Amino acid sequence: MESMAASESAERGALEARLGAVRIVLVQPSHPGNIGSAARAMLTMGLSELVLVAPERFPDVEATTLAAGADAVLERAQVVGGLDAAIGECRLVLGCTARQRGVRLPEMHPREAAARLLDPAAHGPVALLFGRERTGLTNDELQRCHGAVHIPANPGFSSLNLAAAVQVLSYELRGAALGGAPVPTRPARDLPATEAEMEGMFEHLAQALDDIDFHKGRSPRTVLRRLRRLLLRAAPDQREVRILRGMFTEAQRMARLARR
């Protein structure tokens, strides 16, 4: 009996650790009641990491009232000024969106997204982004994501409340964790690069392409967007990012020599 209890306790600990690595990120929420309702939705499914990017009103009594007892989630919620602080440490970022925007991303069902998030969550933070109540995530914000999550709602009335969307994804995350999604055994050195490391690489790539005059006067926007999608899909690890940046640096050096 004692060994069975110890085993169950270990399983609960592993479940809590994986769910605890998932950040629910609300980008510029305008209604504090939605923040409170989202916190309640999270806690019912064992999630606790709430990050608020530039909320209009928080803390607020309406958020506390709608949290209906999920005060612990609100109290530990991180309030940050921009997306960099919210997701910079994360190795996987998925954006919840009601429709495909100008940025084409791999589109996932909530169940698929939950399983995908729990893999790297065994080794560190991952993030699930939700946009503004009225306009959702911008194209620039979606470009920071590895994929888009679409809830297959009634096409005749597909407008889902922010907290309801958080509830759907939180439920799927708990279901995936309880279903025993395998814990990856990759060594730490092979983990995907963090979002901050990827953004640094993209900035370096953009500068390198300018330095070698790759665009020949044409707009770089489309090329950079396609390269961003390609590299996010590849999910390079930290060593691979360093190799790529070394190549960019060498190309820049050769371009400087050629100009001389």
pLDDT value, residue 18: 85
Is there a cis peptide before residue 59, judged by omega within 30 degrees of 0? Answer: yes
| Residue with token string 């109540």 | 133
pLDDT(86) > 70: yes
- Domain total in the chain: 2
Q: Which two tokens stand for residue 90?
A: 């994360």
CA angle 163, 179, 131 (to 5 degrees): 25
Cβ count within 10 A of residue 238: 16
Do 192 and 158 share a structural domain? Answer: no
Residue among 135, 29, 35, 25 nearest 88 (CA)? 25
pLDDT(126) > 90: yes
Domain that holds residue 62: 2-178
pTM, to two decimals: 0.87
Residue among 167, 161, 150 nearest 47 (CA)? 167
pLDDT value, residue 219: 86
Among 150, 178, 206, the domain boundary falls at: 178
pLDDT(44) > 90: yes
Q: For residue range 181-231, what is the model confidence (pLDDT) as tens digits? A: 555 555 556 788 999 999 999 999 999 999 999 998 888 998 999 999 999
Mean of pLDDT values over 134-159:
91
Do 88 and 210 share a structural domain? Answer: no
123 in any annotated domain: yes
Residues 6+ apart with CB under 8 A from 224: 202, 205, 206, 209
Among 125, 149, 178, the domain boundary falls at: 178
Q: What whole-number percentage of the chain has pLDDT above 90?
A: 74
Do 225 and 142 share a structural domain? Answer: no
Residues 6+ apart with CB under 8 A from 259: none
What are the φ/ψ torsions at residue 30 (nearest 5 degrees)?
-100, -20
Crossing angle for the helix pair 195-211 and 221-234, nearest 10 degrees? 140
Across-strand partners of 255?
none
What are the φ/ψ torsions at residue 236 (nearest 5 degrees)?
-65, 150
Do 58 and 26 share a structural domain? Answer: yes
Do 59 and 14 share a structural domain? Answer: yes
> DSSP code of 219?
-
151 in any annotated domain: yes
